[in-house]
Amino acid sequence: MFLYSSITKKVLMALAGLFLVTFLCVHLGINLMLLKNDGGRAFSTAATFMGTNPLIKVAEIVLFAGFLLHILFGLVVSGQNRAARPTGYARSNSSDTSFFSKYMFHTGIIVSIFLALHFCDFYFIKIGLVAPPAGIAIHDFYNRTLLLFSTPWYSLFYIVSFIFLGIHLNHAIQSAFQTLGWNHSKYTDAVKVIGSVYSVVIAIGFSIVPIYVLFFLNKV
Amino acid sequence: MNFTLKIWRQKNVTAKGEMVSYDVSGISPDSSFFEMLDTLNQKLITTGGDPVAFDHDCREGICGTCSLYINGRPHGPVKGVTTCQLHMRAFKDGDTIFIEPWRAKAFPIIRDLIVDRSALDKIIQAGGYVSVNTGGVPDANTIPVPKEKSDAAFDAATCIGCGACVAACSNAAAMLFIGAKVSHLALLPQGRVEAATRVQKMVACMDKQGFGNCSNTYACEFDCPKGISVANIARMNREFLGAKLFSEKERVIKESL
């Protein structure tokens, strides 16, 4: 992993990242089914499909590999970047560039912490590593989700995590295209705009569910 | 004009350095940044002090010798100029000005504000040239070059190799420098022949020198005194990927370098 050249490492990170970005879109689609007021039937059907379909099972392995690759290379690359400037400046850089682009490592760490918790809450229960909370069946993702989101601090943490993911994606999408060499006067501006819009849609889209559960579900 | 200067002082490569404060007064707004430093040095010499060492040569913005990280930006606050073309009218009377050397593991400090930028020369030596003698000036249009390509190559070739991109980069990466050099040669027919091996050798050398990895913050483009575009970095990435994936005979193995 350390032996790969700088560009190879970043290209692999970019490819894994873009794959994860498309996965987010699918995940968001399923989450938004929770908004359908049918006692969780649509959501549970989708969750069962995702949990049992053999093609999805294969995709799941690719997904985990994507996460692992992106996170490990991210750590290696960030480590090397810090080592490349052992002594910092007394006056830090004041160039007029995108502010958050310098904090990809930090936002990435916050998203990873969320991911770890998310695994404990859902995936580990699904594969039977962790026992589900009392009164909820192993595969009952609907009630499990409602239970989690009815806790305000959990919902808040969830929303904050997605705001950070949005910030991460805002730079990440156009950055991945640049790393893959896809820079062109005709479409680079479009890629930047679409990337920013996509990151906002992801952050807001995922945040709608806890807000709905906390404030609107069974309240009217 | 009067200024308070905070300057990095360091005896040699191994010594521990520190920021030292100096006051200069009676500076003309029309004097250049270096003339202001010359005034300070004259004062230091006459009072028995140690003058501040800094790099400079042509003082007309074309050689790439000058450096200085001024108030958080390489080559100071004015866009598109080198430090030697920076004038004191760009500052306000009574300003405190921080002057630091380029900071990168690949650029060890020789003394005060002078850093050793030979890491960039080593990258050029690794492949940033055309290895056959291309002869004298050919007759016009004997080698056809499309206008857009010659323009893009010329834009990349304006890189003076000062290292501001490395200094500006939050990762001390040299990607803009190498991107410019790779692009400038790969776009022209004389340089195209060796393009696949060149990019692999130069990137391998870059990694060996201890530069960071590009994270596309684009501070390099913003602070480049020659306005080199980050599109050159993308072109280098394309050249590199193309060479690694599709060229067979030109494949460069890192260990063989």
Q: What is the mean pLDDT of residues B114-118?
A: 97
A179 with B216: Cβ contact below 8 A:
yes
B136 and B84 within one domain: no
pLDDT of residue A96: 79
| pLDDT in the model for residue A64 | 93
How many A-B residue pairs are in contact by the CB < 8 A criterion? Answer: 127
Q: Which chain A residues touch B170 with a CB distance below 8 Å? A: 81, 93, 102
Question: Could you tell me if B219 and B166 lie in one domain?
Answer: yes
- Give the DSSP H or E segment for B8: strand B3-9
**Predicted confidence band of residue B215 (pLDDT cuts 50, 70, 90):** very high
* pLDDT tops 90 at residue B249: no
Contacts of B26 (CB under 8 A, 6+ apart): B1, B2
Distance CA A72, CA B69 (A): 33
From B52, B79, B110, give the residue that closes a domain: B110
CB atoms within 10 A of CB B177: 31
SS3 of residue A181 by DSSP: coil
Specify whether B130 is located in the same domain as B252.
Answer: yes
Inform me whether the pLDDT recorded for B141 exceeds 70: yes
Name which of B123, B165, B170, B202 to mutate to probe chain A: the one with the most chain A Cβ atoms within 10 A of its Cβ.
Answer: B170
Domain final residue pick, B110, B137, B165: B110
Pick from B19, B170, B234: CB nearest A90: B19
Tens of pLDDT, residue by residue over B27-76, are 999 999 999 999 999 999 999 999 999 999 999 989 999 999 999 999 99
pLDDT: is B140 or B235 the higher one? Answer: B235
Torsion of CA B203, B204, B210, B211, to 10 degrees: 10
Same-domain check for residues B190 and B70 = no
- pLDDT of res. B257: 58
* Local structure of B187: helix, strand or coil: coil
Looking at this protein, which amino acid is placed at residue A78? S
B216–A171 C-beta distance less than 8 A: yes
**DSSP tag of B15:** S
Please tell me the distance from the alpha carbon of residue B154 to that of residue B183, in angstroms, as a whole number.
10
Q: How far apart are CA A93 and CA B133, in angstroms?
A: 43
Q: What is the CATH number of the domain that holds B99?
A: 3.10.20.30
pLDDT beneath 50: ranges in chain A: none
Among A127-131, B28-32, B128-132, B163-167, the least confident range:
A127-131
Question: Does B217 have pLDDT greater than 90?
Answer: yes
Q: Which of B10, B69, B203, B215 to mutate to test the interface with A (most CBs of A within 10 A)?
A: B215
Whether residue B172 and residue A185 make contact (CB cut-off 8 A), yes or no, is no
What is the tally of structural domains in chain B? 2
Q: Which residues of chain B does A9 touch, with a Cβ-Cβ cutoff of 8 Å?
A: 213
What single letter denotes the amino acid at residue B1?
M
| Phi, then psi, of A140 in degrees rounded to 5 | -85, 80
Q: Which residues of A touch B236 (CB under 8 A)?
A: 7
Last residue of a domain, which of B110, B126, B149? B110
pLDDT confidence of residue A1? 67
CATH code of B199's domain:
1.10.1060.10
Half-sphere exposure of A61 (CA within 13 A, CB side): 5
ipTM of the complex: 0.90
| Same-domain pairing of B37 and B128 | no
Distance from CA of A176 to the nearest CA of B (A): 9
Cβ atoms < 10 Å from Cβ of A160: 13
The whole-angstrom separation of Cα B92 and Cα B90 is 7
d(CA A120, CA A55): 24
Domain identity same for B131 and B249: yes
Residues B96, B203: one domain? no
Task: Collect all residues of chain A within an 8 Å Cβ-Cβ radius of residue B71.
Answer: 91, 94
| Token pair in block for residue B205 | 């050398």
pLDDT of residue A135: 75
**pLDDT higher than 70, residue B115:** yes
Residue B255, pLDDT above cutoff 80:
no
What mean pLDDT comes out for the span B106-131? 96
Do B71 and B139 belong to one domain? no
Average pLDDT, chain B: 94
pLDDT of residue B254: 61
| Same structural domain, B174 and B217 | yes
Shortest distance, CA B77 to any CA of chain A (angstroms): 9
> Residue B61: which domain range?
3-110
Q: Residue B247 pLDDT more than 90?
A: no
| B101 burial via Cβ count (<10 Å: 0-12, 13-18, 19+) | buried
Do B246 and B147 lie in one domain? The reply is: yes
Q: How far is B139 from chain A (nearest CA, A)?
A: 33
What domains are defined for chain A?
6-80+99-215 (1.20.1300.10)
Q: Are B87 and B150 in a shared domain?
A: no
For residue B137, the model assigns a pLDDT of: 85
Q: From chain B, pick out residues whose CB is under 8 angstroms from the CB of A88.
A: 103
Mean pLDDT of B181-199: 94
pLDDT-derived band at B18, boundaries 50, 70, 90: very high
On whether both B40 and B139 belong to a single domain, the answer is: no
The distance of A106 to chain B (nearest Cα, Å) reads: 13
**Coil, strand, or helix at residue B61?**
coil
Flag if A10 and B234 touch (Cβ within 8 Å): no
Helix (H) or strand (E) holding B151: helix B147-157
Q: Please give the pLDDT value at position B128.
A: 95
B167 vs A85: CA distance, rounded Å: 9
Residue B178 contacts residue B236 (beta carbons within 8 Å) = yes
Pairing relationship of beta strands B114-115 and B109-111 according to DSSP bridges: antiparallel
